[in-house]
């Protein structure tokens, strides 16, 4: 049991470090989701089923979802900006 | 500070914090030997006092119920905050619609509907998911789970509708107005449920309902109704947040479809 | 082993902090903040843990069975919701920053100085 | 149990939920009246509670879970004149800013009111709570509301930057405090302040000290103490003016209050033999905050940013008042808090009026444009006198008490810190007054713009006059800043309350056993008033002189001869880089430095 806990704890630390050092947001979100699941697992093993349940629903699903949505929003924003600039260019040229 | 200086400056400070922390935790009870009185007393008393078998739920909604009211208010305010922050800037409210429309059409940006199989599968999941969420909410005082967790699960149901491509239904379920009413009602319900205890001469959030037999669904007095209110508030809150982030996409997609 | 959970907790805190200090992207920064917050989860749960004890749920076991501390778990539920809300708010700031300045780099968005 | 106690939390929350429910379905006037009504009702309840708790503090257990054999099972609210008085002051400032903002915020329905009401509830709960985790919950509630309010004006890039700096720093602080809370819980198995204090006893091991340092640093982030203060000016510079009144007037000060509450309720037993160590560390923090804030304040020309730095400086003085760890100084700090909060509120409201009338908040752009608003200018000057601590003001009474205690404890050098901080900050205000409202002195070249926020008007409608709803709250706050210092019998009452506040054993007995130990009031020694009066007049004259010098041509010429001064100023300004990464690095430095210094001093 203790060995299992220790393994998962170390795994949590490694995953967290990996998430921090991933500089590419989309990949990082995937990592965060994975991290959420591992944390949930740790909570199960530490006899906290309530917390594990909410960690998995929030940490592994809701949070990454929010990140994805805002990344999508930002991408769309960038596209729109580009399009606006292009049309301005065209107007200037004309 | 330039970035390199900043990094090294931080690393030195971080080492100091690490050292301080480690020297402190060496004086803590060793891991796995919890000894404090608080948790043990609650573990012993909850079933007798409150006829509730899940102590964590009891702590959240009864012993320390006021914390949960505060926490639900945090959720509420943050949803309101997100609505305020992501509101359309006044300059974009009127103009640029037509332009976007034509631009979208020109580029052929209409997003195809998901395949029929996906739609059936996702929509088919909605029913069981809602049932599961309701179960988790309603059995919060008996088994692990409760208002939060069930609420979050319920909140994913509209998203499945969205994923299935049924945008109009999603918009109907999840638009600001409905959701915000749900959230505010859930919270008002919570706040009001605390009042009878006060009127009866006790204190705010004191139990006034019969406790029932422990292990039954109708037990634990006020905890079950408060749990339901929390479930409503949490699910509405999360739907609201996702909707705010999705709103713009949703509108473009709905317009593209026309 | 007896110190490992605590060390992991402070590691999560510091690594999250490091990520924030060095971040070049607001979304990345918010994720580091989420990691930082999870340090408190690990720490609090480790504080309330008891070897060989079950969860604080007495549905199928009699009262008096050794159980871990329910209080920290209740605190954690609050904590997790707080994390989600703070992240939502910060993400909306990030989205706004991008809308206004077309960049997500904290080093480039410098309007307030001196 | 006294049914009034939970009301300061519940009334604003209920009003917030109600307005959230109605949102756009109710007209603006309805939301305004609900908000004003809720704030006044909460204020009245808090005042009643303050009155009732003057003789014996009230303890309220939620869910009627009174402690059993000295072990707290639930969460309590602890009402003493300090906590209830702070709640009342929150409501007062909120009322002023609600009235002021009647013309504001047309764009988003009533959500602004919802956020403000939630903010008020959080601050009331924060001042009343007697449970460490409950304190954290209100800390977060306060933060979330504050972040959203701060980022309210979404169309300016600087807004998001200020709000992000604010949110990231405060969230990190909160979670550091939560780690500290976890360590306390591991050590004592309790979350109630009184019970933690009792269980700790006289243990001053490194665990207890570190836990306290973590909790304290978390709260000091809110209190904007050096080196955690960087977010404050950014947040204030971008937040809407009515919100700034609450930020500067009370939210920041609540951070200091919470440190004081945590220290006296749970650490006083453990640290009693090591008080001088804590005093030393906190005096350094307070002094640095006060002087740095003052220097930065004088260097600003964005008026709201200038006022924000002056808040930092005055919070430093509050920290000094607490750091002496004496009831007398605590009483002084309480008076100072009220006096400063009111004066600063008035100043911010005047800044809001300037923004409304002239559409700018930059000292250079506003040159002479306030000449048609003599009354508004008068309120501004009144606020300046409040900052410098001229004799009838609340700040004077507070400063007088703190300095008296400081001298008795052989910390006479604090006089100089006080003198410098209040003189420089007030001089900055007078300088702005002279340029903007009198149109005197040199013009700032608007070409050499500092990179700072370009404020847009926050209001719509005609801008050719100052509406009464904007002027009256500012005027009232200005009067309050005076009144706070001259209520008869006030000093004695505050001193008694401070003695009760600082009664470690009495607090525990009251909370855990419901017993009431008579307060051992310190006989209020009559401090030599004359020297304080002279000092306050001297500081005022010095501030005016400095302001006159600053707007004279000699100032510009003098710059050439003061290279080292200018260089160090430039260095300090560069520290406030607006980059969140830098701020977080300073935060880590602060935690490490305070922690190691305290642990080292206590161990040796």
Domain ranges of chain A: 2-93
Give yes or no for B95 touching C (CB within 8 A): no
pLDDT of residue D27: 84
pLDDT of residue D273: 87
Whether the per-residue pLDDT at D558 is higher than 80: the answer is: no
Whether the per-residue pLDDT at D449 is higher than 60: the answer is: no
Whether the per-residue pLDDT at B97 is higher than 50: the answer is: no
Please give the Cα distance from B208 to D196 (Å, whole number): 30
Contact D588 C107 (CB under 8 A): no
- DSSP helix/strand/coil, D203: coil
Neighbours of B23 (CB within 10 A): 14
Stretch D426-451: mean pLDDT, rounded?
79
Whether the per-residue pLDDT at D559 is higher than 80: the answer is: no
Please give the Cα distance from B109 to B235 (Å, whole number): 32
Contact B238 A69 (CB under 8 A): no
Stretch D106-132: mean pLDDT, rounded?
87
What share of chain D in percent tops pLDDT 90?
52
Please give the Cα distance from D189 to C50 (Å, whole number): 13
Neighbour-count burial of B258, counting CB atoms closer than 10 A to its CB (0-12 exposed, 13-18 middle, 19+ buried): exposed
Contact B28 D107 (CB under 8 A): no
Nearest-CB residue to B34 (from C3, C22, C48): C48
Whether the per-residue pLDDT at D438 is higher than 80: the answer is: yes
Q: How far is C109 from chain B (nearest CA, A)?
A: 15
Please give the Cα distance from B105 to B257 (Å, whole number): 10
Nearest-CB residue to B248 (from A2, A62, A76): A76
pLDDT of residue D452: 45
For D1-33, the pLDDT digits (tens) are 788 999 999 999 999 999 988 877 888 888 889
Stretch D81-94: mean pLDDT, rounded?
94
Give the model's confidence band at D259: pLDDT under 50 very low, under 70 low, under 90 confident, else very high.
very high
Q: Which residues of chain C does A67 touch, with a Cβ-Cβ cutoff of 8 Å? A: 27, 30-31, 87, 91
* Strands annotated E in B78-231: none
Q: How far is B116 from chain C (nearest CA, A)?
A: 33
The mean pLDDT of chain C is 88
Whether the per-residue pLDDT at D450 is higher than 50: the answer is: no
Q: Are D304 and D584 in contact (CB under 8 A)?
A: no
Whether the per-residue pLDDT at D522 is higher than 80: the answer is: no
Report the candidate in D282, D571, D535, D258 with the shortest Cα–Cα distance to residue D418. Answer: D535
Task: Say what the alpha-carbon torsion angle A87, A89, A91, A93 is, to the nearest 10 degrees.
Answer: -150
Q: Are D282 and D378 in contact (CB under 8 A)?
A: no
pLDDT of residue D451: 44
pLDDT of residue D183: 94
Contact D75 B90 (CB under 8 A): no
For chain C positions 43-102, those within 8 Å of chain A (CB to CB) are 45-46, 49, 51, 53-57, 67-68, 73, 76-77, 80-81, 83-84, 87-88, 91-92, 94-95, 98-99, 102
CATH number of C4-101: 1.10.287
Please give the Cα distance from D465 to A47 (Å, whole number): 66
Whether the per-residue pLDDT at D135 is higher than 50: the answer is: yes
Which of B3-17, C58-72, D195-209, D580-594 is the least confident region? C58-72
For B20-57, the pLDDT digits (tens) are 999 999 888 888 888 878 888 888 888 888 888 888 88
Stretch D497-519: mean pLDDT, rounded?
86
Nearest-CB residue to D152 (from B36, B84, B194): B84
Report which listed range, B231-235, D313-317, D458-462, is most confident. Answer: D313-317
D93's tokens: 């400032």
Chains that touch A (3 or more CB pairs under 8 A): B, C
Residue A79 dihedral angles phi and psi, to the nearest 5° = -60, -45
Please give the Cα distance from D597 to D603 (Å, whole number): 10
For chain A positions 49-78, those within 8 Å of chain C (CB to CB) are 49-51, 54-55, 58-59, 62-63, 66-67, 70-71, 73-74, 77-78
The mean pLDDT of chain B is 80
Contact C112 D163 (CB under 8 A): no
For D191-209, the pLDDT digits (tens) are 999 999 999 888 888 999 9
Give yes or no for A47 touching B (CB within 8 A): no
Instruction: Tell me whether residue B14 is in a domain.
Output: no
How many beta-carbon pairs below 8 A join chains C and D? 137
Give yes or no for A9 touching C (CB within 8 A): yes
Instruction: Tell me whether residue B8 is in a domain.
Output: no
Please give the Cα distance from D395 to D478 (Å, whole number): 12
D473's tokens: 């709250």
Whether the per-residue pLDDT at B63 is higher than 50: the answer is: yes
- Give the residue ranges of chain A where pLDDT is below 50: none
Stretch D524-544: mean pLDDT, rounded?
85
Q: Which is more confident, C98 or D12?
A: D12
Whether the per-residue pLDDT at D327 is higher than 80: the answer is: yes
Contact D185 C112 (CB under 8 A): no
Mutation target vs D (from B66, B230, B232, B233; most D CBs, 10 A cutoff): B66
Helices (H), D484-562: 490-501, 504-508, 529-551, 553-561
- DSSP state letters, D51-92: HHTTTS-EEEEGGG---BTTB--S-EEEE-HHHHHHHHHHHH
For chain C positions 50-109, those within 8 Å of chain B (CB to CB) are 50-51, 55-59, 63-64, 67-75, 77-78, 80-82, 84-86, 88-89, 91-93, 95-96, 99, 107
Instruction: Tell me whether residue B60 is in a domain.
Output: yes
Instruction: Give residue limits of the domains in chain C.
Output: 4-101
Stretch C45-72: mean pLDDT, rounded?
87
Neighbours of D412 (CB within 10 A): 11
For D361-397, the pLDDT digits (tens) are 888 888 888 888 889 999 999 999 999 988 888 899 8
Neighbour-count burial of A48, counting CB atoms closer than 10 A to its CB (0-12 exposed, 13-18 middle, 19+ buried): buried
Whether the per-residue pLDDT at B258 is higher than 60: the answer is: no
Neighbour-count burial of A72, counting CB atoms closer than 10 A to its CB (0-12 exposed, 13-18 middle, 19+ buried): middle
In chain B, the number of structural domains is 1
The mean pLDDT of chain D is 88
pLDDT of residue C60: 79
Beta bridge partners of D459: D104
Stretch B87-103: mean pLDDT, rounded?
51
Element (H, E) at B44: helix B37-50
């Amino acid at each position: 049991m203790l060995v299992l806990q220790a393994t998962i704890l170390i795994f949590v630390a490694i995953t967290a470090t990996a998430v921090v050092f991933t500089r590419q947001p989309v990949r990082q979100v995937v990592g965060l989701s994975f991290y959420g699941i591992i944390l949930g697992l740790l909570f199960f093993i530490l006899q906290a089923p309530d917390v594990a349940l909410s960690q998995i629903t929030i940490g592994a699903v809701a949070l990454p979802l929010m990140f994805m949505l805002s990344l999508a929003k930002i991408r769309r924003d960038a596209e729109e900006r580009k399009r606006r600039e292009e049309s301005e260019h065209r107007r200037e040229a004309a | 500070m330039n970035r390199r200086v900043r990094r090294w400056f931080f690393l030195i400070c971080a080492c100091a914090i690490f050292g301080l922390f480690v020297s402190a935790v060496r004086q803590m009870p060793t891991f796995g030997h919890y000894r404090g009185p608080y948790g043990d007393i609650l573990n012993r008393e909850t079933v007798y006092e409150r006829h509730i078998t899940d102590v964590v739920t009891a702590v959240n909604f009864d012993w320390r119920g006021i914390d949960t009211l505060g926490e639900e208010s945090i959720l509420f305010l943050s949803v309101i905050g997100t609505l305020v922050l992501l509101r359309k800037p006044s300059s974009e409210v009127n103009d640029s619609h037509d332009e976007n429309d034509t631009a979208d059409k020109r580029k052929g940006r209409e997003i195809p509907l998901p395949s029929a199989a996906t739609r059936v599968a996702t929509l088919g999941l909605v029913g069981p998911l809602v049932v599961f969420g309701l179960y988790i909410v309603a059995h919060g005082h008996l088994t692990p789970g409760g208002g939060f967790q069930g609420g979050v699960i319920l909140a994913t149901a509209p998203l499945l509708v969205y994923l299935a491509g049924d945008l109009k239904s999603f918009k109907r379920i999840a638009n600001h107005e409905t959701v915000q009413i749900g959230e505010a009602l859930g919270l008002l319900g919570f706040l009001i449920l605390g009042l009878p205890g006060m009127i009866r001469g006790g204190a705010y959030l004191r139990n006034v309902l019969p406790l029932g037999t422990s292990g039954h669904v109708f037990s634990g007095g006020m905890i079950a109704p408060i749990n339901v209110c929390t479930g409503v508030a949490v699910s509405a809150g999360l739907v609201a947040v996702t909707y705010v982030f999705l709103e713009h996409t949703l509108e473009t997609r709905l317009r593209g479809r026309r | 082993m007896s110190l490992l959970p605590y060390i992991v907790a402070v590691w999560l805190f510091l690594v999250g902090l490091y990520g924030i200090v060095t971040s070049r992207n607001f979304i990345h920064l918010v994720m580091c903040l989420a990691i930082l917050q999870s340090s408190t989860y690990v720490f609090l749960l480790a504080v309330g843990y008891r070897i060989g004890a079950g969860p604080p749920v007495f549905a199928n076991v009699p009262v008096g069975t050794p159980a871990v501390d329910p209080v920290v778990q209740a605190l954690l539920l609050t904590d997790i919701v707080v994390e989600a809300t703070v992240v939502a708010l910060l993400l909306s700031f990030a989205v706004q920053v991008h809308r206004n300045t077309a960049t997500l780099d904290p080093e480039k968005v410098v309007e307030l100085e001196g | 149990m006294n049914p009034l106690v939970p009301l300061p939390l519940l009334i604003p929350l209920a009003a917030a939920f109600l307005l959230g429910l109605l949102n756009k379905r109710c007209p603006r006037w309805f939301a305004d009246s609900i908000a004003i009504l809720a704030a006044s009702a909460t204020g009245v309840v808090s005042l009643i509670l303050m009155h009732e708790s003057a003789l014996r503090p009230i303890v309220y257990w939620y869910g009627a879970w009174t402690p059993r054999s000295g072990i707290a099972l639930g969460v309590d609210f602890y009402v003493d004149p300090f906590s209830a008085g702070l709640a009342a002051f929150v409501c007062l400032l909120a009322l002023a800013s609600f009235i002021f903002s009647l013309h504001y915020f047309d764009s988003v329905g009533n959500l602004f009111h919802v956020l403000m009401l939630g903010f008020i509830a959080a601050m009331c709960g924060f001042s009343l709570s007697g449970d460490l985790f409950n304190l954290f919950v209100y800390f977060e509630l306060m933060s979330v509301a504050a972040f959203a309010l701060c980022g309210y004006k979404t169309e300016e890039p600087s807004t998001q930057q200020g709000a992000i700096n604010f949110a990231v720093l405060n969230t990190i602080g909160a979670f550091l405090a939560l780690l500290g809370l976890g360590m306390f819980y591991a050590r004592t198995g309790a979350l109630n302040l009184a019970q933690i204090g009792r269980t700790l006893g006289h243990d001053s091991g490194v665990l207890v000290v570190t836990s306290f340092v973590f909790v304290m640093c978390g709260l000091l982030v809110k209190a904007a103490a050096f080196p955690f203060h960087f977010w404050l000016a950014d947040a204030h510079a971008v937040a809407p003016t009515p919100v700034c009144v609450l930020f500067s007037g009370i939210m920041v000060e609540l951070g200091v209050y919470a440190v004081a509450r945590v220290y006296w309720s749970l650490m006083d037993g453990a640290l009693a033999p090591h008080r001088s160590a804590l005093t030393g560390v906190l005096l350094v923090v307070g002094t640095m905050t006060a002087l740095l804030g003052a220097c930065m304040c004088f260097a600003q020309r964005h008026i709201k940013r200038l006022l924000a730095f002056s808040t930092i400086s005055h919070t430093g003085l509050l920290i000094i008042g607490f750091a002496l760890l004496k009831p007398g100084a605590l009483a002084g700090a309480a008076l100072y808090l009220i006096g400063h909060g009111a004066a600063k509120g008035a100043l911010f409201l005047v800044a809001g009026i300037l923004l409304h009338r002239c559409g700018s908040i930059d000292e250079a752009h506003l040159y002479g444009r306030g000449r048609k608003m003599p009354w508004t200018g008068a309120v501004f000057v009144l606020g300046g006198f409040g900052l410098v601590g001229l004799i009838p003001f609340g700040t004077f009474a507070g400063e007088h008490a703190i300095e008296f205690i400081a001298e008795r404890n052989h910390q006479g050098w604090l006089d100089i810190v006080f003198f410098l901080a209040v003189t420089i900050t007030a001089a900055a205000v007078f300088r702005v007054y002279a340029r903007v409202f009198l149109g005197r002195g040199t013009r700032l070249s608007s070409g050499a713009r500092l990179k700072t926020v370009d404020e847009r008007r926050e209001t719509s409608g005609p801008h050719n006059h100052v509406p009464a709803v904007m002027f009256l709250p500012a005027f009232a706050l200005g009067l309050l800043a005076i009144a706070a210092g001259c209520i008869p019998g006030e000093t004695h009452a505050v001193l008694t309350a401070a003695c009760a506040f600082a009664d470690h054993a009495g607090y525990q007995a009251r909370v855990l056993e419901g017993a009431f130990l008579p307060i051992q009031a310190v006989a209020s020694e009559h401090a030599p008033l004359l020297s304080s009066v002279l000092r306050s007049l001297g500081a005022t004259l010095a501030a005016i002189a400095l302001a006159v010098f600053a707007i004279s041509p000699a100032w510009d010429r003098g710059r050439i001869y003061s290279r080292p001064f200018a260089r160090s100023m430039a260095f300090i300004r560069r520290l406030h880089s607006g980059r969140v990464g830098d701020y977080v690095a300073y935060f880590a430095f602060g935690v490490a430095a305070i922690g190691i210094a305290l642990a080292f001093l206590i161990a040796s």
